[in-house]
Amino acid sequence: MFFKVKVSDHIRVPPNMFNLAVEEAIVKRIKVKYDGYISKDLGMVIDVANISEVKQGVIIPGDGASHYETSFELLCFKPELQEVVLGKIKDIVDFGAFISVGPAEGMIHVSQTMDDFVSFSKEKVLVGKETKRILKVTDLCKARVIAVSYKDVANPKLGLTMRQNQLGKLDWLDEESEEKKAKATPKAKKEEKKGKKEKKGKKEKKK
């Protein structure tokens, strides 16, 4: 999930940036400080959304830089358990598929790729035995987050599944939608025909 988080911090602007407008210099310094920042609380910092307040700068003796107490918003990505995400298959190996989800990378175990017995080919393709469905690199998929780990803060791990309703490769979902429409059409026509007969019967009774 992408969201904005409000942060208050003291931002140091070095003398070589005094030629810039204060806000421009502060934005540049915030980006340097928070670029690639990852934490369990914030998730992954993407960019500076906006600056809401900049207080009077203070120069600390012996430093030479100006320090500004600043309030600003960061655009962050923080995956939540049970969240449904859209991603692109980045790589496929014999034990599953790696998928890019926003700035993060998730892993779908081979047993969670589809509701079928799945085999792996040397061409980096996963194939369903019964359904004949194929999963390959660059495929767009919908998956659900079932595990989030910040054990290695620099490289958070996401566990995903595609074995639930309305999940999987987008092409599969389109096929399922078309099949449902095809099945529903004869039933709808039958009900419509039945309704017309009932209306006709009522009219005849009135006469």
Question: In the chain, what are the domains?
Answer: 2-77 (3.30.1490.120), 84-172 (2.40.50.140)
pLDDT computed for residue 103 by the predictor? 87
Burial class (CB in 10 A: 0-12, 13-18, 19+), 164: middle
Is the distance from CB of 7 to CB of 71 less than 8 angstroms? yes
**pLDDT profile of the chain (207 residues), mean per 10:** 92 94 95 90 90 92 92 93 95 95 92 94 92 95 94 88 93 83 66 64 58
pLDDT computed for residue 16 by the predictor? 93
Among candidate residues 99, 79, 80, 78, the one with its CA nearest the CA of residue 170: 99
For the four alpha carbons of 170, 91, 154 and 162, in that order, the dihedral sign comes to positive
| Residue 155 DSSP label | S
173: left (phi over 0), alpha (psi -120 to 50) or beta: alpha
Question: In Å, what is the CA distance from 163 to each residue of 7, 13, 156, 189, 199?
Answer: 38, 51, 23, 33, 45
Spatial distance between the Cα atoms of 34 and 25, rounded to a whole number of angstroms: 14
Would the pTM of this model clear 0.75, i.e. be above it?
no
Among candidate residues 120, 121, 117, 166, the one with its CA nearest the CA of residue 143: 166
pLDDT computed for residue 158 by the predictor? 94
pLDDT computed for residue 196 by the predictor? 63
Q: If you compute the radius of gyration of the chain from its CA atoms, what whole number of angstroms results?
A: 27
What are the structure tokens assigned to 107, written together?
């892993």
Spatial distance between the Cα atoms of 106 and 11, rounded to a whole number of angstroms: 34
pLDDT computed for residue 195 by the predictor? 64
Spatial distance between the Cα atoms of 16 and 28, rounded to a whole number of angstroms: 12
Helix runs in 120-168, H state only: none
